[in-house]
Structure 1
Amino acid sequence: MKRILMAASSLVLVGGAAFAGGYDTPVVEAPVAPAPVVVPANANWDGFFAGLQLGYGKPDELLTTDGAFGGVNAGYIRDYGNFVLGGELAYNAANMDQGDAGKVKDFTDLKLIAGVPYGRWLPYGTLGASYVKADVDGEGKSDTLPVVGIGVKYQVSDQWSVGSELAYRKGNGFDGTGEDLNMTTLGANVAFRF
């Protein structure tokens, strides 16, 4: 009998300890929603602008030299929200000298600009005409060449932007020489928007 009482007492103590805390309903937490993706607001590119550019160019075929160029630009961009459209006129003095064979003296570009802004960035493409002046074998030559390019601008403030542009000019039979004067340029620019 002692054994039965001892066993029963042990079961009561162990069983009582198991139920001492009572039953708690499990807590189910609501799922956490992912953080929203924040798309930066596009900067305003609308208005007239003027600026400076500096870069490096390489003509080939008729002249095979390379060198620096620098100049001024001005234009207008219309901002339509999801895209921009505008035009630019740029003049550049050049130092692409090949000695007695000749040199590229300067070039003036008139370009259409089209791009898609993303925040403060504006990737764009250009299409237009470039009036190139050169000395070839001691003779002054000039011709209008088609120009195509790609570039990107970054709006540092509401009025200032910086950028870079890669452009290619194709000169078939440059000014009656019978040879092509193709030219690739890569430049950096800064502009002030009014």
Structure 2
Amino acid sequence: MRQFALTLLLTLTSQIALADATSSLKDYLNNTKSMQASFKQVVSDKQGKTQTSSGILAIQRPGLFRWMSQKPFEQLLLADGKQFWIYDPDLKQAIVKDIGKALESSPAALLAGNNQFERLYTLSTLPTKDNIEWLEAKPKKADNSFDVIKLGFNQGQLAQMELHDHFGQTTRIYFSDININPKIDANQFRFTPSKDTDVIRE
């Protein structure tokens, strides 16, 4: 009887935690129409080597985002609702893709998507760590860019992301200076390459 009671308690606790984490995700999807923030991104490979970058992002849901890495070098990821741009100003090179094909190719695209997260991913709860409530999302389709996505919420606010891809890389993203639902200039989500930029269409 005690074993049954303990099992029941653990099951209920797990369900409550999942409900809380899922609620945080739903609140973000339902209540966040736009977002501006600073980010720090750390990418680790199988050998443990890391690359760190930082910058700013702007999101207008659904489908518009601007992800600007500023350090150690500049790179722009931008979705204008129809096309997805990757621009390297040092190389004067821009890669442009159809937005549908590139929808899951960046963390910003996940944040800027529609409210169909639960339809595309299987959700499960993870232990809370350092006051961060974690939710794990595994894609239901095998052709997703990521094997596992983890979302960390602090008091209902998205604070961290962790992404594991097919190549064994782990990308950790930390958000700060978060501004929810600001009015963002539409020009933030437009990109016109200069005449001397090499444009590659994929």
Query: Which is helix-richer, 1 or 2?
Result: 2
Which structure has more relative contact order (CA 8 Å, sep 6+)? It is 2
TM-score bin (small chain): 0.3 to 0.5
Q: Which has the larger radius of gyration?
A: 1
Query: Which is strand-richer, 1 or 2?
Result: 1
* TM-score between both structures, scaled by the size of structure 2: 0.39
